[in-house]
């Protein structure tokens, strides 16, 4: 459902470093002395998908490095849904309208070895992403609204051991699925299924261990899989391992284990996310092709216990298979001193049980399905029963223009396909008129879902 860049800012007697360490993670920050060892020191990671494209911050302020991000988009679906609703995406929300997707304000604080980060989020993403977390239905307090306007908020401490150890507590970006939560860090705008159906945030504790200049090992103890709270009695456990022996190559694995189906204490989830990055051409001074890079990601996971059986489908009625397999590949070519870019890619996913599929309908009701608190009820819910099939694939082609490191413009074509009716069709998913104020007839109307979608996206992305 949250990185990868190196900068250093020297102020007074300390130096505050932000380094590239992991695809999908926005920042690994190290508060340390000026003479300390720095992971990936000297590496240019601005080419990495899921990483900050800037080579340094515009700010040089003691104790605090501000961060300002603005993400606006306009999108057209050739299905022309009457209600303008985009379904099955966490990057998009409305068709044929200018949308302020995200405004993020905050930054990094440091004093001595103490460290902290706060990033707010306003705009449509503060509604779209928390919608997919049903853990706030447990207990009395509304965590969705309490945390909705924060995307990162943690406090921690840096230990000057090896190349650094950070201990952070709070809300931080997920690393699973390659893409960063911040669109300013991604090659493509609409993420492939692999990223869009995996977590964007974690809530808990992480320990970032840098035993060498080229290696990060990071264990997590978290509330769950993109969940503000905990669905059952056991927390989620995970780890990231990132290895980048050369500037032009990076490998990583993220692995997770937890219980994330509310009320199913015996149902356990395992997930493994693995990415490879290669920059295979680099001529930054060229007026022609200035660099080129490739990424590949593969995920595999399953749920087992309390009525589902992982990859085993020997009893599809009473104990069906429930698993997740996906992959995605992207290639990007930069031109004219890296000011222009052309990228293409796509992916495939299958998810029997649909436990990671973004529900396109069903959140019209303010309460979840009482028989399964991990599913919304609504008037016409998209079923996510054990064993329900879902397989989809997508591809995209895009062009980017980066006049300077703080602004980027994108134009992107995307095709998405599923083996079931999933995307918003001409009739929309809201009501016969497309307005939420129109009463839905007791019979005779259903959300108009179709099996494919072609879409054009334009976006303006600012970062300072």
- Cα distance between residue 183 and residue 407, in whole Å: 12
Q: 453 forms bridges with which residues in the sheet?
A: 416
Could you tell me which residue, 17 or 82, shows the higher pLDDT? 82
pLDDT of residue 436: 84
**Tally of CA atoms within 13 A in the half-sphere of 58 that contains its CB:** 11
Task: Give the residue-averaged pLDDT of 196-222.
Answer: 96
- The alpha carbon of residue 134 and the mean position of all alpha carbons in its chain are separated, in whole angstroms, by 17
Could you tell me which residue, 361 or 280, shows the higher pLDDT? 280
Burial class (CB in 10 A: 0-12, 13-18, 19+), 234: middle
Residue 7 has pLDDT above 90, yes or no: no
pLDDT of residue 18: 34
Q: Which is it for strands 14-19 and 249-258: parallel, antiparallel or unpaired?
A: unpaired
Could you tell me which residue, 137 or 273, shows the higher pLDDT? 273
Cβ proximity of 247 and 44 under 8 Å: yes
pLDDT of residue 5: 36
pLDDT of residue 368: 57
How would residue 371 be classed by pLDDT, with cut points 50, 70 and 90?
Answer: low
pLDDT of residue 20: 35
pLDDT of residue 387: 86
pLDDT of residue 140: 87
**CA distances (Å), origin 63, targets 9, 36, 58, 104, 109:** 10, 18, 15, 20, 6
pLDDT of residue 141: 87
Residue 26 has pLDDT above 80, yes or no: no
Return the minimum-mean-pLDDT range out of 127-141, 309-323, 450-464. 127-141
Could you tell me which residue, 82 or 364, shows the higher pLDDT? 82
Q: pLDDT tens, 29-60?
A: 444 444 568 899 989 999 999 999 998 888 88
Q: pLDDT tens, 299-352?
A: 999 999 999 999 999 999 999 999 999 999 999 999 999 999 999 999 999 999
Domains defined along the chain, listed by start: 7-463 (2.40.160.10)
pLDDT-above-90 percentage for the chain: 73
- Cα distance between residue 421 and residue 416, in whole Å: 12
What does pLDDT average to over the chain? Answer: 88
Q: pLDDT tens, 408-441?
A: 999 999 999 999 999 999 999 988 999 988 887 7
């Amino acid at each position: 459902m949250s990185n990868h860049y190196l900068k250093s800012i020297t102020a007074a007697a300390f130096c505050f470093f932000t380094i590239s360490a992991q695809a999908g993670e926005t920042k690994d920050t190290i508060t340390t002395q000026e003479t300390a060892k720095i992971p990936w020191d000297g590496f240019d990671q601005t080419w990495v998908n899921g990483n900050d494209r800037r080579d340094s911050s515009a700010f040089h302020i003691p104790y605090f490095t501000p961060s300002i991000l603005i993400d606006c988009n306009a999108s057209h679906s050739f299905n022309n849904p009457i209600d303008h609703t985009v379904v099955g995406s966490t990057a998009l929300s409305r068709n044929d309208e200018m949308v302020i997707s995200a405004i993020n304000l905050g930054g990094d604080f440091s004093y001595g070895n103490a460290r902290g980060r706060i990033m707010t989020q306003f705009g449509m993403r503060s509604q779209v992403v928390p919608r997919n977390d049903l853990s706030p239905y447990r207990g009395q307090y509304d965590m969705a609204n309490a945390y909705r306007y924060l995307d990162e908020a943690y406090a921690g401490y840096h230990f000057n051991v090896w190349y650094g150890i950070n201990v952070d507590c709070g809300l931080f970006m997920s690393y699973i699925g390659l893409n960063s939560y911040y669109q300013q860090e991604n090659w493509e705008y609409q993420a492939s299924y692999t990223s869009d159906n995996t977590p964007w945030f974690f809530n808990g504790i992480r320990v970032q261990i840098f035993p060498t200049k080229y290696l990060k090992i990071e264990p997590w103890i978290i509330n769950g899989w993109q969940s503000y709270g905990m669905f059952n009695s056991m927390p989620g456990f995970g780890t990231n391992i990132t290895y980048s022996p050369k500037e032009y190559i990076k490998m990583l694995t993220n692995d997770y284990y937890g219980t994330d189906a509310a009320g199913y204490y015996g149902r356990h989830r395992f997930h493994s996310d693995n990415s490879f990055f290669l920059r295979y051409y680099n001529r930054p001074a060229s007026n022609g092709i200035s660099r080129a890079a490739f990424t590949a990601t593969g995920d595999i996971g399953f749920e087992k216990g309390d009525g589902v059986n992982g990859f085993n489908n020997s009893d599809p009625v009473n104990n069906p298979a429930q698993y997740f397999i996906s992959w995605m590949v992207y290639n990007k070519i930069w031109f004219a001193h890296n000011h222009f870019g052309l990228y293409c890619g796509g992916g495939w996913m299958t998810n029997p049980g649909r436990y990671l599929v973004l529900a396109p309908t069903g959140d019209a009701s303010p309460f979840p399905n009482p028989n399964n608190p991990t599913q919304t009820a609504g008037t016409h819910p998209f079923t996510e029963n054990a064993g329900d099939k879902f397989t989809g694939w997508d591809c995209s082609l895009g062009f980017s223009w980066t006049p300077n490191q703080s602004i980027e413009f994108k134009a992107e074509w995307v095709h998405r396909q599923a083996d079931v009716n999933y995307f918003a069709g001409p009739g929309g998913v809201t009501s016969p008129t497309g307005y939420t104020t129109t009463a839905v007839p007791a019979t005779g109307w259903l959300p108009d879902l179709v099996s494919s979608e072609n879409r054009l996206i334009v976006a303006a992305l600012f970062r300072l």
